[in-house]
Homo-oligomer: A and B are copies of this chain.
Amino acid sequence: MTEPSFTVHIQPDGTKARARQGDILSDVLMRAGVPLSAYCNKRGVCGKCAVRIVSGPLPFQTPREEALLLRRGLGPDHRLACLYEVRSDVAVEVLPGSRLESVAVLETGMATDVIPQPAVRKLFLSLERSGPASPEAALDGLRSLLKTRDLGVPLPVLEKLGGGSIASKGGFTAVLFGGREVLDIEPGDTTEGIFGLAVDLGTSTVVAEIADLRTGEVVGRASSVNTQASYGVDVVSRITFAFENPDNLRRLRRAVIQLLNELVAEAARPRGVPRHRIYEAVVAGNTAMNHFLCGVPVDTLAMAPFHAVFTALPPLPAAEIGLSINPHAKIHIVPNIGSFVGGDVTAGLAASEMASSHGRELFIDLGTNGEIVLKRGRELAAASTAAGPAFEGMNISCGMMAVAGAVHHAEWDDAGFRLRTIGDLPPSGVCGTGLVDILAIALENKLIRPDGRIAAPERRLELGSGLALTQQDVREIQLATAAIRTGALLMLREFRTPSRKLDRILVAGAFGGSLDVRNAVAIGLLPDIHAGRITFVGNASLAGARKLLLSAPEREAAEALAASIAHVSLASQPGFQDEFVKAMEFKPYRAGEP
C-alpha cells in the first residue's frame, strides 16, 4: 500500500511541495528551499518559524506555542512550522519574519594596520630561448628565472605553460606562492591584478572581504546570515545534525560553500574583481565551522571528551574546498586552539596583537561559545564556556540580532527606559549590547534583584515600545553572564592573576555597535577594572583574517601562537560548579576576586 501524500502550497512563493503523512511542516518547507528560521533547531521553543495556515487543518496550539505566537502578535490561524504535522493538503503563508534574511552584520572590527607581505606574488617573465644549441624545458627556464629547483606546478598550469600563448614572445605572468609553487600562469602582464579573500565564518553570520594584496586596500565586502542556520541555529545543534547522518554533513558543507561563493560574487561585483584573480583566502571560523567547511565529520565533537579532528591544516587548494576563486588558490584555515576555541579566536588574538604585546591581558569573545584567553608574560591559555546565544539576541523573547531596528543602547530617565536603536528605527527587538544596558539599569534601579528576580509582581520588565523582558529572559542573560564570569575567574585563578592587575581586557563580539563596558562591569560580565583599560574590539575575527591574509609573516606567527596556547577545560576544574552558582548573582567582581 502506498502511503498517502499531500500537497503543501507555499505562499507568497507560489510554489508547491509534496509531503507524506506526518511530515513536519518545517522539514517540508526547508526541503522546498524556503530559508526558514529555525533558531532552536526545530525544538518548538524559539517561535521563529511561525507560519499562517491559509487553508487546511488547525490542530490545537500547545500552551508554549500559543505563548510564543502571542509574543509575535500572531493569532489563532498561525502555527509553528516545526510543531505542525502534515495530515492533509495544506496552504501556508511563510511570514517575512520567519525567513532568514540577508542582514547588515557587524563587519568591521579593529583597524588592522599591517604592511602587505602576502605569500602570493606575481612576476612578469619571458622565456628567452637561446636557440637549438641548448634545448631547455619551459619549466626549467622558469625554475632558473625564479632561482629555485623545487618548484611545484599543478598539472593544469603546466598545460598552460605548454600552450602557444605562453610560449610566444609576448611574455607571461607567473603567480607564485611562497616562492616554491606556481599557482597560475597568465598570458601577458597581469601583475596589477592580485587579490585575496578574508572570511569571518561565524556561526550566525558570514562576512567576506576582498583585498588588493599589493596595497592592502579592501575592494569589496559582503555579508549574510549563515544559511546553515536552517539546520540549527547554534553550533551544538549543527554538530548534532551532522552527527545524525553523513548526508547532513554534506548539506552543511554545501550550504556554507554556496553562501561563500555568493558572497565572493557580491564582494567582487562593485570593483569588477575577476574571481580567478583571487589567489589566496584566509578563513577564520570556530572549530566546528572549519570542520563543516572541509566536510570533515564532527562525530568526535558531538560526544565527550569532545575532540576535534584537526586544529591546524596546511593550505588547501580552492578547488578542493569548492570555492569559486582561482582553482589553485590557497585556502588558509586559521588554526583552532582547541575543540571549542576556534580559529576565529586565533584571528582575534592576531588582530588585537595580543601575542606581541607585553603584560597581563584577558581576551573575551562574547559569542555563543564564550572564549577566554589569558596572557601572562609569554604564557597563554584558552578556555571556552557555554554562554549560549543570549547576547546574540537568541532565546530572548524580544531578542534579535544586531540589525536595523534593534535596541543597542538604553538609558534611564524618570519616565523609564530610553531606547536607542540601530538606524534610529522604531524598536523591533533588543540585541546584546542593549540587553547589557537594560540589565545594568534595572539592577541600579532595583527593577531586578541581584539574584535575577524581577521586582514587578507580574515578573515582567516593561521596556516601553511594546517590548518587555520576561523572568525567563532574565534567567537566560544570567546564565550567559555567569558562564563568562566563571570562565574568566577560573582562568585568572589558575594563572594566579588578580583581575585588578590586568593591564588590558579585550572584548570581542558581533552583538552590537559598541558595548558600554561600564554596564558590563556593573552586571559582573567583565572584571571590575578601569573602563579605560577595557577595549571593545567588535568583530576581531574578520579584522584578524584580513591581517593574516595580507601578511604571511603574521600568519606564520599566528599559527605558532595557536600551537603554543594551552587549552584549559573549565568544566573539569575543581570548583567549577560552586563558582558558577556564585556567579549567577548580578554584581560587580569583588575587590579580591579571584
**Copies, count:** 2
Choose one: B159, B291, B305, B320; the contact of A132 (CB below 8 Å): B305
Q: Shortest beta-carbon distance, A557 to chain B, in Å?
A: 15
Q: Is the CB of A422 closer than 8 A to any CB of chain B?
A: no
Tell whether, in the assembled complex, residue B309 and residue A162 are in contact, meaning their CB atoms are under 8 Å apart: yes
Partner of A305, one of B131, B305, B312, B313: B131
* Cα–Cα distance between A134 and B308 once the two chains are bound (Å): 12
A412 at the interface (CB under 8 A from B): no
Question: Least Cβ distance of A389 to chain B in Å?
Answer: 22
Q: Which residue from B296, B305, B314, B571 sits with its C-beta under 8 Å from A159?
A: B296
A453 interface residue per 8 A CB criterion? no
B-facing mask of A88-130, CB < 8 A → 1, else 0?
A: 0000000000000000000000000000000000000000010
Chain B residues whose CB sits within 8 angstroms of the CB of A294 once the complex forms: 155, 158-159
Q: How far is the CA of A150 from the CA of B131 in the complex (A)?
A: 43
A307 cross-chain contacts in B, Cβ below 8 A: 129, 135-138, 167
Query: How many Å lie between the Cα of A164 and that of B243 in the bound state?
Result: 10
**Chain B proximity of A249: nearest CB distance (Å):** 9
Q: Is the CB of A155 within 8 A of B316?
A: yes
Q: Is A140 an interface residue, CB under 8 A from the partner?
A: yes
Measured between beta carbons, the chain B residues less than 8 angstroms from A336 are: 137
A468 within 8 A of partner (CB): no
Interface flag for A304 (CB, 8 Å)? yes
Binary flags per residue of A296-339, CB closer than 8 Å to B gives 1, else 0:
11111000111111111110100011000000000000001011
A149 proximal to B (CB < 8 A):
yes
**Quick check: A291 and B149 within 8 Å, CB to CB?**
no
Q: Which of B135, B154, B569 interacts with A308 by CB under 8 Å?
A: B135
* Minimum CB–CB distance for A562 against chain B, Å: 11
From known contacts A155-B320, A158-B309, A158-B310, infer whether A135 and B569 are also in contact, taking CB-CB under 8 Å.
yes
Q: How far is the CA of A131 from the CA of B139 in the complex (A)?
A: 51
CB of A153 within 8 A of CB of B313, answer yes
Query: Contacts of A149 on B, CB cut-off 8 Å?
Result: 563
Shortest distance from the beta carbon of A155 to any chain B beta carbon, whole Å: 6
Q: Known contacts A295-B155, A297-B159: does B308 contact A138 (CB below 8 Å)? A: yes
Taking the closest CB of chain B, its distance from the CB of A584, in whole angstroms, is 24
Q: How far is the CB of A402 from chain B (nearest CB, A)?
A: 31
User: In whole angstroms, how far apart are the Cα atoms of A313 and B155 in the complex?
Assistant: 10
Cα distance, A311 to B142, chains bound together (Å)? 12
* Bound CA span A306–B310, Å: 48
Query: Is A272 an interface residue, CB under 8 A from the partner?
Result: no
Question: Is residue A161 within 8 Å, beta carbon to beta carbon, of the partner chain?
Answer: yes
Give complex CA distance A164, B140 in Å. 46
What are 11 pairs between A and B in contact, CB < 8 Å?
Answer: A129-B305, A135-B339, A135-B569, A137-B308, A137-B310, A138-B300, A138-B309, A139-B309, A155-B316, A158-B310, A164-B299
Given pairs A129-B305, A137-B339, A155-B296, 19 additional interface contacts (CB within 8 A): A131-B305, A132-B304, A135-B307, A135-B339, A137-B307, A137-B308, A137-B309, A138-B307, A138-B309, A140-B312, A152-B314, A153-B314, A155-B295, A155-B320, A159-B297, A162-B291, A162-B300, A164-B297, A167-B300
